[in-house]
A and B are shown apart, each in its own frame.
Chain A
């Protein structure tokens, strides 16, 4: 039997991995992947609870949030591609024109 704490543990693990990815990733693509992982960590929670209490709202919401995550990735990719075309690379640590 899968307990609530197991789900929470899994999602927290996922979330931490995603956060770590965002914090240490130098390339933009890894960052997008990390964002996907964070969003999916939350999705696991919602899906598990929706199945637990037999609520269709939760399942519906997970579908929506997957779509939103996709849209977010698209925009992220578009910005990264444009940056790449400007010839400056997509290393986030080097984008420091705007500071102080």
Chain B
């Protein structure tokens, strides 16, 4: 029993940090920042320790949660980006401190519970907790742009939580249970497939899949960059893992209709996912081509990345889809590790511009190499990684994803992914071109700490990129 409590330590610790910040009144700014960041940092270390010491043996399951090696794998990513987001927050007003520094760990904890849920009740509650705390975060500091971003996020979020709830209700009616992993039988096929489609739409909103993506562009652009870095990485990966948990765990069956076509439910879903992922990739990449606002370009590219991520659901094609789960976790872990580091790092680099020049267009970035060579080179590395240039982590993430698809006979889908990567190179390199070959137009002040954070992300993108094959072989 003690053994299990030890494995719960990271999440219990972060919970204690939140409770202590809420309960102890009149805490000053420094204390709250300290407790929050330290709490996230220690739980990051503890979850890394769990991952390193544990050899995938640890697994415990209740009616509501399944806690295992893999949940900590992704919690590690969440707390990593959470830590750097809260470290990069600058110019926080005194009265906003507690909102930021309590809501960030709270949302991390909610995301953790959401990805470890095996029951739609706990899943919905923790998903909503994560959503609600990020609605508030997106609206901070209370300015016109951020509030607009927040209200858009809120409206679409509320609509999609209604859709999710409707999906859950149909799921409940057709299976008599809320559990994902143990379904005894389905008594109404139509409602069942309807519920799965509704869940796809509801969680697809969070992952910003086409055509549920529109909010994401405005919200990532409008919210302050540190919050965007949290929203566009941790929150999305949470939605992806939830969808993997649902769609790769539930029971599928043959359709009772039209006896000449023996479609199974997973057969339908894999077609839907392939169509959606292709549309998402093309939409994100093509729209990003003409963006002059770098932050908005990053938002579109994060939509394209959601498309890459959704390609993994094509493995539902196989009736033995459940055997793919460890492989999918592994591939998605490497892809999301890359994604967290490079996308989170890029948004944190944007924070630098927002804080001082109030806008993030290409003109603001032009000539960056002359004003701040360190920031320019580290942002360049991150953009190279996003574009998937070989030694970097971004390449490795895409490589293993596409390789998995090719190995499972979806070479044409991987080819579409490669074509999209090729398109994306254009707009990433345009930024690099502006940074190195144009004359500076705007003066910005330097922020050494932020630069160091971005530099660290760039270094990690290269080093982990080189080590990835080794990580893959250890975990695989």
Q: Does chain A touch chain B in the assembled complex, meaning CB atoms less than 8 Å apart? A: yes
Q: A43 — which chain B residues lie within 8 A by C-beta?
A: 165, 169
* Chain B residues in 8 Å Cβ range of A29: none
A13 at the interface (CB under 8 A from B): no
Contact between B178 and A97, CB atoms less than 8 A apart:
no
Q: State in angstroms the CA–CA spacing of A35 and B164 once bound together.
A: 13
B144-171 CB contacts (< 8 Å) to partner A: 144-145, 147-152, 154-155, 158-159, 161-163, 165-166, 168-170
User: Could you say which residues of chain B place their CB within 8 Å of the CB of A83?
Assistant: 147-148, 151
A64: interface (CB < 8 Å): yes
Q: How far is the CA of A75 from the CA of B151 in the complex (A)?
A: 10
**Are A86 and B144 interface neighbours, CB within 8 A?**
yes
Stretch at the interface among B48-56, B128-136, B247-255, B302-310: B128-136
Given A71-B128, A97-B145, does the pair A49, B173 have CB atoms closer than 8 Å? yes
Interface of B is mostly: helix
Query: Quick one: closest A residue to B150, CB to CB?
Result: A79
For the residues of A in contact with B, the DSSP-based class is helix
Give chain B residues whose Cβ lies under 8 Å from the Cβ of A18: 162
**Closest Cβ–Cβ distance, residue A86 to chain B (whole Å):** 5
**Inter-chain contact total with CB atoms closer than 8 Å:** 119
Contact: A41 with B162, CB < 8 Å?
Answer: yes
User: A-facing mask of B112-155, CB < 8 A → 1, else 0?
Assistant: 00000000010011001000100110010011110111111011
Number of interface residues of A (CB under 8 A): 44
A39 to B158 alpha-carbon distance, docked (Å): 9
Residues of B within 8 A of A49 (CB): 169, 172-173, 176
Any A CB within 8 A of the CB of B394: no
Query: Do B150 and A58 touch (CB < 8 A)?
Result: no
- Say whether B151 contacts A80, CB under 8 Å: yes
Partner of B121, one of A61, A82, A86: A61
Q: Are B166's CB and A64's CB within 8 A?
A: no
> In the complex, A61→B170 CA distance in Å?
14
Is B222 among interface residues, defined by CB-CB distance under 8 A?
Answer: yes
A selection of 9 A-B contacts at a CB cut-off of 8 Å is A28-B151, A45-B173, A46-B172, A61-B121, A61-B178, A78-B136, A78-B139, A92-B151, A98-B221
Residues of A at the B interface (CB closer than 8 Å) are 4, 11, 15, 18-19, 22, 28, 31, 35, 38-39, 41-43, 45-46, 49-50, 53, 55, 57-58, 60-61, 64-65, 68, 71-72, 75-76, 78-80, 82-83, 85-86, 88, 92, 95, 97-99
- 10 tightest Cβ-Cβ pairs between the two chains A and B: A38-B162, A45-B169, A42-B165, A98-B218, A35-B158, A42-B166, A42-B169, A46-B169, A68-B128, A95-B148
